[in-house]
Chains A and B, each alone.
Chain A
Amino acid sequence: MTDSALREIADDPSSRKRFFKMLGGAGAVSAATVFLAACGDDDDEAAAPPAASEVKDNNNSDLKVLNYALTLEFLEADFYKQVIASGLVKDAKVASLAKKFGQTEQEHVEALSATIKKLGGKPVDAPKTKFQPTLDKGLKAVLETAATVENLGAAAYLGQAGNIKSKEVLAAALAIHSVEARHAAALNILVGRGFGDGKGGLEGALPDGAFAKPMSEAAVLKAVKPFLA
């Protein structure tokens, strides 16, 4: 009983459906309507609908954030792909985690690409990556890099929360953000970094202690630069 209930929480297939519905697609209009209704009345918006130019600016601004996120997800997805292909991971438990995380990042790539298209934008191309030097260092370095990159990803999403204009896009980003955080915590524990010092940085399952810190786009792009060809 208990296990099945927990599995339900874990594997609820409707969450994915709801997510894509939230982003747009067949039920986009009705989903958005329901979503906004659930937010309660917003007097300001009701009184003065935003001008068309403002809507366009907000849309463009969200597209920029989404394409930035897409770049990071491409990077993560490709890293896991190369790690699995390298055959470095022998431990079954770690291998299954890497596979699962990689699939998840790929789903993030697809969801973000679809969202960008729905908003009338053009998804960026996948960046050319450079993970071979990391792979050459062996399993430990690979897993540590994964742990660091996931901490980076979580901080990157957190850094964008306030920049997103659309509630639907924000909800989508949040749904991904907490998954990156889960990946980050799990990998940091697995590589033996423990909770971290709580003082910041990208090492540890709780590197900032009780309150996660955001990272700016500039800082994130600088940190991932070694992995870009």
Chain B
Amino acid sequence: MATSRLVAPELASIKVQGLTREAFLMRSTLAAGAAYGAMSATGLISSALADAGGGDVDILNYALTLEFLETEFYTRAAKQVKGLSKYENDLTKELRDNEGAHVDALTATIKQLGGKPVAKPMFQFGGAFASRTAYLKTANVLEDTGVSAYNGAAPMIKSVDVLAAAGSIVQVEARHAAMIRLVRDRPPAPRSFDAASEMDEILKAIKPFIKG
């Protein structure tokens, strides 16, 4: 775990309770991905059905897990974190709603493709909501991780429509990352080329958040 550049120490120190790769229903070697938005999903689904194989469903389920994680994170943050400014509160709720919309869209798309959406895991966030600083730090890591997960997986998506959807979502994740970084007084776009992470790196990074 120490070798993963995505795992910040505060994440690594949270107790891990036996998540397995199988828990993600990751049967393929594919990394991560996404589906299209709720608003536009219906129009895309029929054509996505035509050329999306099982691989895309696996990718969608992996993405769904990441989006479940983010949704739960911001839902709890909105209730628990003290000392946020009005803007930070608004931002938290906006991010929560965006991630929730991603969950809904991914779930709908997986079903339309004939797949079975993964169940929402049980999450734990350790001390992430104990302070404004801790919350924003974890949010920063989660959003940057999300961007690199989607970027790493998108080239492996078979359906051009599912790819368009992954692009649509990753752009929003990147915007989230920049906004969270700004409130932390960190460079919003630290790299000229965003990272593309492989599944193993992502799984390591989010493992501490998932209860066994």
Contact = CB atoms under 8 A, between A and B. Distances in A.
Given A1-B9, A179-B174, A213-B168, A206 B163 contact: no
Interface in A167-225: 167-168, 170-172, 174-179, 181-186, 189-190, 195, 205-206, 208-214
A61 interface: no
A85 interface: no
Given A175-B151, A186-B179, A212-B171, A11 B198 contact: no
Interface stretch (A102-110, A116-124, A127-135): A102-110
A161 B163 contact: yes
B160 A10 contact: no
Contact of A179 (B9, B36, B189): B189
Contact of B189 (A100, A172, A174): A100
Contacts, number: 197
A161 B5 CA distance: 27
- The DSSP consensus for interface residues of chain B is helix
A39 interface: yes
Contacts of A2: 8-10, 137
B194 A178 contact: yes
Interface residues of B, number: 65
A28 to B, nearest CB: 16
B170 A205 contact: no
A83 interface: no
Given A5-B9, A186-B182, 9 more contacts: A10-B144, A39-B30, A40-B156, A161-B167, A167-B155, A182-B194, A205-B175, A209-B98, A211-B101
23 contacts: A2-B137, A10-B186, A12-B5, A111-B193, A161-B154, A170-B154, A171-B151, A171-B155, A174-B150, A174-B196, A176-B194, A181-B171, A185-B179, A186-B178, A186-B181, A205-B178, A205-B179, A206-B94, A210-B169, A211-B40, A211-B105, A211-B172, A212-B168
